[in-house]
Copies of this chain bind each other. A is one copy, B any other.
Amino acid sequence: MPETPRRADRPSAPRYGNRPTMKDVAARAGVGLKTVSRVVNGESGVTPETERRVQEAIDALGFRRNDSARVLRKGRTASVGLVLEDLADPFYGPLSRAVEEVARAHGALLINGSSAEDPDREQELALALCARRVDGLVIIPAGDDHRYLEPEIKAGVATVFVDRPAGGIDADCVLSDNFGGARQGVAHLVAHGHRRIGFIGDMPRIHTASERLRGYRTAMEDAGIAVEDAWMSLGATDPARVRRAAEEMLSGPSPVTAVFSGNNRVTVTVIRVLAEQSRRVALVAFDDLELADLLQPGVTVVAQDAAAIGRTAADRLFRQLDGALLLPERIELPTRLIARGSGELPPAD
């Protein structure tokens, strides 16, 4: 029975949707496969004349080396993964860009993924990236159990955690001084005469949220102020929740005269609520905002340097990959208090 002719019967013709390979180039140039490989990779040991012929075939065929195949053979993929919470959050843009730049300097591409603050999705993403055999992984954890990564790390995947430490495993992490920054910010409010100070933060299971709350508590304790439960609110950072929280601590029998906002998502809503109040309420916010200095009053913030965090994490990742067998380390980056007016308002009563 005669075979049905297939498109594959024309092995050296570039078929639509099927890309030319080194084999096609070799056939057209009348040379061996290895010679094509030499030209494509700029290796020495090819006559100028041979090189010209190969190059001609490459151009005519529109050949581009398939890096997937290359990678399969070489072992390293020259790509790193970044799992973060939400690329649309202004904190992660600069962080991601910084990681990208370091990766680029090392010839690597960056695969981004958003966990949407969902631990399952974080795991799914991180493991999908491992299946793609990224050389390394920068993770902003959503979950608090990362033992699922143990086989991957043992297999050689470089890993650095950012913004929050890993759970259940020993790994590098790069953090801001959340505790110290919050403590300093709250102390700043105390220094300006406040005693009833509110704290609105993210969900308590998130490391940064709990650390910043701890900073708040410590600063209050330092000042000898007994904190009332009604002054603290942790939870989701959606506008509705934050608005409710702010309005509650601003009303009632002992309303706060100042608010410490736990992160940039919270801050945008708190600013809106404070603008609606009849009396002036002081504000210090964790995380800087682009137009914070142009508001009236300017927003006093405890700023983190997202780009520096990303850069530090990526540097560390490539140090791991370069074989500097470093012990896992916890790197804490300082925050910076920037006084702009809102944090220097005196108590309204």
Contact = CB atoms under 8 A, between A and B. Distances in A.
A275 B296 CA distance: 11
Looking at A87, A151, A296, A307, the one whose CB has the most chain B CB atoms below 10 A away is A87
A53 interface: no
A281 B17 CA distance: 57
Contacts of A16: 154-156
A65 interface: yes
A226 B156 CA distance: 67
B128 A100 contact: no
B72 A69 contact: yes
Contacts of A151: 62, 64
A132 B110 CA distance: 12
Nearest to A133: B68
Nearest to A63: B151
Interface stretch (A43-51, A182-190, A286-294, A326-334): A286-294
Contact of A100 (B69, B87, B89, B290): B87
A38 to B, nearest CB: 18
A139 to B, nearest CB: 15
A77 B295 CA distance: 47
Interface string A10-29: 00001011110000000000
A155 B100 contact: no
Contact of A294 (B86, B155, B295): B295
B109 A97 contact: no
Contacts of A272: 294
Contact of A291 (B19, B62, B87, B268): B268
Interface of A: 14, 16-19, 62, 64-69, 71-72, 77, 79, 86-90, 92-94, 96-97, 100-101, 109-114, 127-133, 150-152, 154-156, 268, 271-272, 275, 289-292, 294-296, 307
